[in-house]
Amino acid sequence: MVEWTQEERAIIKDIFSKLNYEDVGPKSLCRVLVVYPWTQRYFASFGHLYSPEVIMANKRIEKHGVVVFRGLEIAVNNMDDIKKTYAELSKLHCEKLHVDPDNFQLLADCITIVIATKFRSVFTPEKQAAWNKFLSVVVSALSRQYF
Ligand code: HNI
């Protein structure tokens, strides 16, 4: 069981309360698709994704970026048992979507870059530490049903 300090809980909830999912969601998903182009294969049904401009303009990608952040919000609201909370989502990514679990960390890294760009100097090392811990738990919970 992951232990959270009151400070960590407060930092993560505070960051989330300031996020506009319509902004950070698409930015994070587009970034992972551009920086790690092999991730595009999972979104083949979303249409052409052959250039950064086309990826940014894709409405289904835009919408899905928001879906990812709504998924993260569920983890924030269930911080004491993210593993159980994500059991079905992990199963879906493993058994139905066949997403290689290494990609979860790549998306987590892109999310952190988008958050850092948004908050700049307010995103202190202490805040990054709490945020990083949260995303690590998310990545581990999403990877859980693969083993
Ligand atoms: Ni992911 C569907 C959350 C990482 C590819 N994903 C979802 C859904 C949520 C979600 C929520 C919707 C589930 C449902 O319909 O019941 N995904 C998350 C989270 C992360 C993540 C929180 C990590 C932070 N997903 C990834 C990664 C990939 C990925 C890294 C591939 C590179 N996800 C998908 C695909 C779908 C999906 C593909 C189905 C999309 C669709 O609508 O067809």
Residue 91 confidence (pLDDT) above 90: yes
- Residue 119: the pLDDT is 97
71-101 core/surface letters (b: 16 or more CB in 10 A; e: else): ebeebbeebeebbebbeebbeebbeeeebeb
Residue 131 confidence (pLDDT) above 80: yes
Query: Which of 23 and 146 is assigned the larger pLDDT?
Result: 23
Candidates 41, 130, 39, 137; CA nearest to 90 is 137
> 43-70: per-residue pLDDT in tens?
999 999 999 999 999 999 999 999 999 9
Average pLDDT, the chain: 97
DSSP 93: I
Using a pLDDT cut of 70, give the percent of the chain over it.
Answer: 99
Phi-psi sector, 50: left (phi>0), alpha (psi -120 to 50), beta: alpha
- Residue 1: the pLDDT is 78
- Residue 146: the pLDDT is 82
* pLDDT, average across residues 113-136: 98
Of all protein residues, the one whose alpha carbon is nearest to atom 17 of ligand 1 is: 68
What is the position in ligand 1's atom list of the atom closest to the CA of 106?
30
| Among the four given CATH numbers 3.40.50.11810, 1.10.490.10, 3.30.360.10, 1.10.4080.10, the one describing domain 6-146 | 1.10.490.10
Residue 43 beta carbon below 6 angstroms from any ligand 1 atom: yes
The tokens describing 71, both together, are: 């998924």
Q: What DSSP string describes 15-63?
A: HHHT--HHHHHHHHHHHHHHHSGGGGGGGGGG----SHHHHHH-HHHHH
Domain spans in the chain, listed from the N-terminal domain onward: 6-146
